[in-house]
């Protein structure tokens, strides 16, 4: 999107990484937006003790896509800053990716292309691919989320994963936040796999990232 396009990925960075990819955006990073993106992403100090991971520059955001039914176009968007973070602790993974786009129009265009009915079903496909044949999806739907940014969208996939005779319940949430003021236009997405205690902290993390982007 054309604003600070913060992709807040909580515990689902691996989900985005393995999705089928649409053509990516044009990358023209500048020092100012790179610095702003680095400030916005979640850091170990935001999460507490015991988290292992890192904050890294993102050369080009990886669009979530499931061709041919869902493949949001991005090749006409210009990314001016991109930073991601990924942390894990005791079965919980939290990833954040923030990207700034060149214009507000680009952010709005990206949002309209991304927030479509096929988003939830695409996330299901990604979850099944990442967790393998032992995955049984129990629920996939849009969910409500506090208005922590001018635009907010959220999807949830709840599943049961069985591996080597062991079965666990896994929840993967994808949150997208968008807006265009007072900083450059921005959009955030927060995919996440979580246990119940950490799921309750989702609004806190999303609100933190949104406040760093939008002020």
Q: pLDDT digit string (tens) for 161-203?
A: 998 888 988 888 888 887 664 344 444 444 444 445 556 677 7
DSSP state of 65: B
- Averaged pLDDT score across all residues of the chain: 79
Higher per-residue pLDDT: 133 or 194: 133
**128 is written with which tokens?**
């099944």
* 3-state DSSP percent of the chain in helix, strand and coil, to 5: 30, 40, 35
Burial letters 39-76, b for 16+ CB under 10 A, else e: ebbbbbebbeeebebebeebeebbbbbbeeebbbebee
Higher per-residue pLDDT: 51 or 173: 51
What is the torsional sign of CA 72, 115, 92, 39?
A: positive
Judged against a pLDDT cut of 70, whether residue 70 lies above it is answered with: yes
Interval 14-40 mean pLDDT = 73
Interval 39-66 mean pLDDT = 89
- For the beta carbon of residue 140, count every other beta carbon within 10 angstroms: 18
Judged against a pLDDT cut of 50, whether residue 18 lies above it is answered with: no
- With a pLDDT cut of 90, the percent of the chain lying above it is 30
In this predicted structure, what is the pLDDT of residue 144?
A: 87
What is the torsional sign of CA 14, 213, 29, 51?
A: negative
In this predicted structure, what is the pLDDT of residue 113?
A: 92
In this predicted structure, what is the pLDDT of residue 168?
A: 87
Interval 120-125 mean pLDDT = 92
Given the DSSP bridges, would you call strands 26-27 and 78-89 parallel, antiparallel or unpaired? parallel
Interval 147-161 mean pLDDT = 87
pLDDT band at 97 (very low <50, low <70, confident <90, very high): confident
In this predicted structure, what is the pLDDT of residue 143?
A: 87
Interval 81-98 mean pLDDT = 86
Judged against a pLDDT cut of 80, whether residue 156 lies above it is answered with: yes
Say whether 126 sits in a helix, a strand or coil: helix
What does the alpha-carbon distance between residue 62 and residue 128 come to, in Å, rounded to a whole number? 18
Higher per-residue pLDDT: 95 or 117: 117
Q: Going by C-beta distance under 8 Å and a sequence separation of 6 or more, which residues neighbour residue 208?
A: 42, 46
Phi, psi of 67 (to 5 degrees): -60, 150
Among 114, 115, 129, which residue's Cα sits nearest to residue 172?
Answer: 129
Helix or strand run (H / E) with residue 83: strand 78-89
Q: Going by C-beta distance under 8 Å and a sequence separation of 6 or more, which residues neighbour residue 95?
A: 9, 10, 11, 12, 13, 16, 84, 85, 86, 87, 191, 192
Cβ-count burial of 85 within 10 angstroms (0-12 exposed, 13-18 middle, 19+ buried)? buried
- For the beta carbon of residue 10, count every other beta carbon within 10 angstroms: 31
In this predicted structure, what is the pLDDT of residue 56?
A: 94
In this predicted structure, what is the pLDDT of residue 204?
A: 83
């Amino acid at each position: 999107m054309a604003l600070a396009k913060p992709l807040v990925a909580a515990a689902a960075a691996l989900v985005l990484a393995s999705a089928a990819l649409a053509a990516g955006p044009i990358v023209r990073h500048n020092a100012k937006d790179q610095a702003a993106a680095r400030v916005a992403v979640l850091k170990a100090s935001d999460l507490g003790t015991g988290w292992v991971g890192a904050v890294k520059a993102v050369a080009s955001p990886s669009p979530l896509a499931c061709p041919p039914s869902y493949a949001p176009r991005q090749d006409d968007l210009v990314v001016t800053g991109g930073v991601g973070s990924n942390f894990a602790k005791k079965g919980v993974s939290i990833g954040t990716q923030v990207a700034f786009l060149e214009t507000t129009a680009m952010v709005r265009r990206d949002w309209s292309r991304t927030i479509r009915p096929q988003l939830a079903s695409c996330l299901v496909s990604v979850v099944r691919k990442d967790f393998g044949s032992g995955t049984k999806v129990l629920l996939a739907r849009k969910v409500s989320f506090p208005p922590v940014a001018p635009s907010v969208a959220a999807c949830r996939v709840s599943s049961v994963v069985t591996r080597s005779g062991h079965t666990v319940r896994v929840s993967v949430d994808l949150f997208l936040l968008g807006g265009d003021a007072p900083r450059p236009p921005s959009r955030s997405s927060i995919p996440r796999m979580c246990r119940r205690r950490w799921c309750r902290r989702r609004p806190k993390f999303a609100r933190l990232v949104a406040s760093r982007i939008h002020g």
